[in-house]
Each structure stands twice: as structure tokens, then as C-alpha cells.
Amino acid sequence: MSGKTYTVWGGNNCGKTTFAVNLACALSKRDMLVGLISSNLTYGDLQVFFGQNVPPEKGLFKALKDDNPNIGDKFSHYEGSKNLFFLSVPTCYTGLLCDTVTLQETERMMKAATMVFDILIVDGAPELTNPISGVGLWLAERIFTLHKPSIAAQMWYRSVSDFTRELHIADKQTHILVSPNGEFDDKPYRSMMKVPFAYELPYIKRAGELENAGTPLYSYHDRFCKRYSKVLEKIASSICGGEKR
């Protein structure tokens, strides 16, 4: 039986990759084999978050172009968890390969990956033209849409409303509010958006520092990261059901 796909989506600088990485870490602690795919076609941001390089013989472009049935071999193993693997562009690659990515090969690659992993997480992009993100939205069991309150976030959400309606993905969305700081009054944003927020993620002052050091928030145990991880555990439970094994 194939695994399920979950896509993380939202506007610029809303914390998508932070959330995707740490949700993957939380799920991997539940004896689930987790694959995480980046939609960034020009820069390997997952390498920064995990503090690891992706060699040229692995990575996104190899997974898309090769007919190798062992799609899992193109994923890089995260050294901090035996159950977590990630797929990103190589740390060094010959440029402009992103122009050759098609929807058809992306769909083939993702469907092959669901035969390897129990859970596949796609770190989506705000641009509607991104093929990795677009296929991830289409195939997703559930879409976690992140909101970091701002006028820009509100405008992005309104700008993609026709897209979500035409692609019939609105019902798959789970909206998550991301606090931009510890003191922000989110009432005006809630009033503007008129969407239900199933979860709220706290502001982590040290997030940038930890991510640049290759340390996922889920692996850091100060009280602020623990609050963030507590929300992730609730979401992981909603995906897997029950407590950690």
C-alpha cells in the first residue's frame, strides 16, 4: 500500500520550510518512514536545515530524470533520525536544470516515492508555477497552509483563491497561524481572513540561529522550542493517530 502525501503551503517567509522540516522530524519518531521533498529548484535549503550536503549523484534532478526504480536511493538520509530522508537539489549542480522540470515527471517521481515512504511531505512554494509544489498540492491528502500575519500574507492568500477553487483543494487545507513575534495582536488578521485556524505555532526567537547551525527546532529542548514541538506532536498525532510508539 502506498504512503500518504502532505503538502506545506503559504506565502513568502511564513515558516513553511521550518514547519515541514520539524513535522518530518516529529513523524519520524513514530516509527514512520518519512520522505521530505523540497520544491526549491535553485537552492538546497534543506541542506542548511539538516546541516548536510547533497552529493551530485543524489538529489531532486536525478530523481526526476533517472528511470531507476529505487527512488529512495536519490533521497539523502538525515543523520539525526534513522527514519527520515530528504530530497533537495544537490549542494553543487550545473545550473538552469530547473527549467527542464515537467509536471509529468514530477508526478511520476512523487507517486514512486509514496511506494517507498509511509509519509511524504512536500515543502511547497508560494509561486503557482512551481511544478513540485503544484503536483504536491494536487496529490496531497492534506495541505497545511501557514499564515504569518501581515498584509502581504493576506494579499497572497487572496491572490491564490481562484487557484484553490479551480483545483478543488480548499477542502484539503488545514490553516495554521504562525506568530511573527511574541507580542503580535493577531485579531485584525483573523478578522480579515475569516478562516478557521486549527493550530497556532509560537514565535521562536532563536529559529534562524538554530537553522543556520543545522539544528531542527524539534531537536532543541529549550522551553520555546518545546512549545513549538508540542504543536507538532498534536499534528503528528492527527496524521498517525495515537501517541508515539
pLDDT of residue 92: 78
Q: What is the mean pLDDT of each run of 10 residues along the chain (245 residues)?
A: 90 94 95 94 90 90 79 94 94 68 92 95 96 96 95 93 92 94 77 93 90 90 92 95 54
> Residue 239 to residues 14, 216, 235: CA-CA distances in angstroms?
22, 20, 6
pLDDT of residue 118: 96
Please tell me the CATH superfamily of domain 4-240, with its number. P-loop containing nucleotide triphosphate hydrolases (3.40.50.300)
Burial 18-42 (b: 16+ CB within 10 A, else e): bbbbbbbbbbbbbebbbbbbbbbbe
Instruction: For residue 197, give the 3-state DSSP assignment.
Output: strand
Output phi, psi for 63, to 5 deg: -65, -35
Residue pair 2/114 in contact (Cβ under 8 Å)? The answer is yes
Helices (H) and strands (E) in the chain, counts: 10, 8
Output phi, psi for 180, to 5 deg: -75, -25
d(CA 14, CA 16): 6
pLDDT of residue 184: 64
pLDDT of residue 243: 47
